[in-house]
Amino acid sequence: MRATFTKLTVLTSCIFAALHANAEEVTSPAHNSNQPPEISSPSFNFYGELGVGGHSALEGDDKGRYSDGTYIEAGLEMEMGNWFGLLYAEGWTVQVDGEGEPWATGHGWGGFEGGFNRAYVGYRTDGKTEIIVGRNDSSLDDIQWWGDATVEYGYTVPNTRDLNFAAKVQNLEGKLRYSISAAPEGKFDEDDAIVNFGKYDRYADKYTYAAMANGYVQYDLFENLTLLGGAEVTDGAGEMFLIGAEYKNVAARVWHHTDQGNDDSEGTETGFMASTWYEATEGVYLSAGYNYANNELESADNEVTSYINAGVWWEYGNGKFATAMDSKFYLGNDTSDSDNQVFVMQYFYW
């Protein structure tokens, strides 16, 4: 295993040791051996969402052509005493062109792809610390939209996301909150998938990745001001560092990845995002953001992504429905040669 991953392994061990050393001592209550222990009844919660809509370019070769973003996802949450678990599935449509090439803007639908995004079991201590094992999102993936109040087009931080098999320890209660996750090298592809929706389904491929660990700490410095710090180390695919701050309805985050978050990038990424939101009336939220990322590449010209986005979110029907719109406009210092876009989506929740 490479030195970068070994460094985080040692760091992770130190974190767990510190958490253990500072944990509050829990004293077990007296137990009457003549009475059988109480057994909690399991509880279940089924929930999910459906989004119908997508994107359209405002300029360029694909101007006015529709790119579908329709998706559906649902989860079954289970709890029994201190134990809990989750099965969560997701899927979305795939567009193809006349030659059968998938993910082609403005063409017909060729199929559907999806699978189980989360399938894990966990234990929650009396102190609210959770230990989770199974298919799960990484800790940094849990907060990928932290500091992003916009509807859709906020820049995505380049951290590892979905993990085929991982362990996670977190405590999301109180002024100081943390989460740390670790996973071995993932070698999961379509041949290993339990369900496959056809030749355009490549959902399972995203679970092939290097061994990694990431995590974050959040701290409420005082009322309405939260600070964030996070990091990720992968075996051979670089390291990432993230800091952020959020005050009321304004937030910003800065990050640096030594290898752009993937195995073949051969370059670094440094980024910044700031966003804000405003409740215009009950259930109607206006949002805007500025996004910047500088990719310094070893085998190609450096690339700067720079744009603003602004949108509106309208939630109604006691939270059962939402209609959203977002727009993206690239700035003069942008060199990514991307097109301005608009996004419209109708959401349904249960």
DSSP 8-state secondary structure symbol assigned to residue 176 = E
Contact 244, 254 (CB under 8 A): yes
Task: Record the tokens describing residue 101, joined without a space.
Answer: 């090439």
Nearest to 188 by CA among 156, 220, 210: 210
Tens of pLDDT, residue by residue, the chain (350 residues): 444 334 444 334 443 443 444 444 433 444 445 666 566 789 999 999 999 999 999 999 999 999 999 999 999 999 999 999 999 999 999 999 888 889 888 888 888 999 999 999 999 999 999 999 999 999 999 999 999 999 999 999 999 999 999 999 999 999 999 999 999 998 898 889 988 999 999 999 999 889 999 999 999 999 999 999 999 999 988 899 999 999 999 999 999 999 876 556 678 999 999 999 999 999 999 999 999 999 998 888 899 999 999 999 999 999 999 999 999 999 999 999 999 999 999 999 99
105 CB-near residues (< 8 Å, 6+ apart): 57, 62, 65, 66, 67, 95
Phi and psi at 205, nearest 5°, equal -60, -25
Report residue 7 CA to chain centroid gap: 25
The token pair that represents 61 in the structure block: 């070769």
Angle at 213 between CA 211 and CA 216, to 5 degrees: 160
Read off the pTM. Answer: 0.85
